[in-house]
Structure 1
Amino acid sequence: MGFQFQFAPVFARSDVLLEGALLTLQLSGIGILFGALLGILLAMLRGLSPPALRWPVDAYVELVRNTPFLVQLLIIFFGLPSIGVRLTAEQAALSAIILNLGAYSTEIVRAGIESVHRSQIEAGLSLAMTRWQVFRYVVIAPAIARVWPALSSQFVLMMLSTSVCSFISVQELSATAANVESDTFRSFEVYITVTLIYLGLALVMRGLLAVLGAVMFPKGSGLGRLRTQASR
């Protein structure tokens, strides 16, 4: 007996899948914004602080990057209430996304900062620029331009990783897909549809990040050339 695709029951629940996709985008957008800001801030702190003050940042980065995202999510949602910190499922998911992405962004931006040659910093100081101006224009801006393709890839991966949040009953795309599957019993069709939705979201996000990179680091400028070279 041959298998027959039946997408009609799945499409009839498209409103549920759309709500899940919208929540996925909301979690991803807020998480990426604050996670990237946290990563840049910690990378700058690493660069400006004496070695003795860098170990908390190093410990945070190593802890997050060497433990599963799911474990971090479960600790925040189920562990924090034991010490009196109670978060909703959405708040716990967003906190985990920000902390996880912040650690990876810190390491990526750190690599960009270390790629700036010492002679460029000395040249900036010789032009009577303040240390803050040197760090802002000579160090951090070129560093972010150089690692923008890597950051963009990490942002897309983080968006896809939001599917893990279904483990704490966050009704994002994967969780709503499971609900639709249990209602329709069309597992293959549901997850083919969800796969295509995730693929579309990833491609759209990658395109938007490319446009954002082109706006922040215009083609033809020095920063634009750094971004182009890094993407090859």
Structure 2
Amino acid sequence: MTYQFDFAALLPYWPEFVHGLWLTLQLSAMATVLGFIVGTLCAIGRADGPPAVKWAVAAYVEVIRNTPLLVQIFLVYFGIATLGFRIGANTAAVAALVVNVGAYTCEIVRAGLESVHKAQLEAADCLGLSRVQTYWHVVLRPAVERVYPALTSQYVLLMLASSITSQISAEELTAVANRVQSDTFRSFETYIVVGLLYLLLSFVVRIAFWLVGLGVFVRRRKLGTAL
């Protein structure tokens, strides 16, 4: 038995693939920005907060890191509806992705915070820097710079994991692929195309983070190691 490939059957659906690609990028970008903010705040709270905050952040991180992303998406999507609030699938997808990646970002950034030597904090005190200035110039920026490659990898994985949001009808790339293959009965060709598109997205996202690293981290720009 020989299988005859027919990619021509997918050509009429290229606008839908482009739309799914664009939505995947939008979901990933929003989840990355918000997840970084949530994760950084949690990392600061866990590293230098009161005991109650440290315990709450630790519980949040452990729960999220030890449960499947799909379950978290279902809890957000159906849980909010159960409480009487109606939100769209895309909004629920972003919220679930933020909750998920925030926990991983917290641990990555916390590792960077712990890498800052105490002598640097003492030097900041001697210079008379305020607590906010110390955190921004002496702790946070160097810490994020050190863990930037790990953050980049995590956010690329986030972009790939966004495919799971198709289970709640978010019209991203995988959801489009599911609909196209059901219409054309060309599952193999459809998922080959989608796999290549995700591969292309991964390269685009990595290049984008590399450019951000060059712009934000001067030392990395001089060394040519933005990732």
TM-score range, shorter chain: over 0.9
CA distance in 2, matches of 1:116, 1:75: 37
Task: Using the TM superposition, name which of 112-121 and 36-45 deviates more.
Answer: 36-45
Residues 160 and 198 of structure 2 are in contact (CA less than 8 Å); yes or no, is this contact kept in structure 1? yes
Q: What's the counterpart of residue 17 of structure 2?
A: 17
Q: What's the counterpart of residue 159 of structure 1?
A: 159
Q: What's the counterpart of residue 59 of structure 1?
A: 59
Q: Deviations over 1:183-225 (max 9, x none)?
A: 111111100000000000011101110110111102467xx76
SS class of match (1:67): coil
SS class of match (2:119): helix
RMSD between aligned alpha carbons?
1.7
Task: Using the TM superposition, name which of 80-89 and 131-140 deviates more.
Answer: 80-89
Shift of 1:47: 2.9
Q: What's the counterpart of residue 106 of structure 1?
A: 106
Q: Could you tell me the TM-score, scaled by structure 1's length?
A: 0.92
Distance 1:4 1:60, change over 3 A: same
Distance 1:61 1:3, change over 3 A: same
CA distance in 2, matches of 1:31, 1:132: 26
Letter in 2 for 1:41: L
Q: Which runs of structure 2 are paired with 1:22-37 in the superposition (5 Å)?
A: 22-37=22-37
Shift of 1:42: 1.5
Shift of 1:131: 2.0
Letter in 2 for 1:43: A
Q: Which runs of structure 2 are paired with 1:93-132 in the superposition (5 Å)?
A: 93-132=93-132
CA distance in 2, matches of 1:220, 1:113: 18
Distance 1:220 1:62, change over 3 A: closer
Shift of 1:83: 2.1
Residues 39 and 103 of structure 2 are in contact (CA less than 8 Å); yes or no, is this contact kept in structure 1? yes
Shift of 1:178: 0.8
Task: Using the TM superposition, name which of 142-151 and 118-127 deviates more.
Answer: 118-127
CA distance in 1, matches of 2:75, 2:136: 36
Q: What's the counterpart of residue 186 of structure 1?
A: 186
**Which 5+ residue runs of structure 1 have no aligned equivalent?**
none
Q: Could you tell me the TM-score, scaled by structure 2's length?
A: 0.94
Task: Using the TM superposition, name which of 46-55 and 67-76 deviates more.
Answer: 46-55
Q: What's the counterpart of residue 143 of structure 1?
A: 143
Shift of 1:36: 0.7
SS class of match (2:218): coil
Task: Using the TM superposition, name which of 45-54 and 184-193 deviates more.
Answer: 45-54
Aligned residue pairs, count = 227
CA distance in 2, matches of 1:66, 1:86: 27
CA distance in 2, matches of 1:156, 1:140: 22
Q: What's the counterpart of residue 78 of structure 2?
A: 78
Shift of 1:62: 1.0
CA distance in 1, matches of 2:169, 2:50: 43
Task: Using the TM superposition, name which of 80-89 and 130-139 deviates more.
Answer: 80-89
Distance 1:185 1:55, change over 3 A: same
Letter in 2 for 1:12: P
Letter in 2 for 1:91: T
CA distance in 1, matches of 2:128, 2:47: 20
CA distance in 2, matches of 1:203, 1:3: 31
**Which 5+ residue runs of structure 2 have no aligned equivalent?**
none
CA distance in 2, matches of 1:127, 1:170: 51
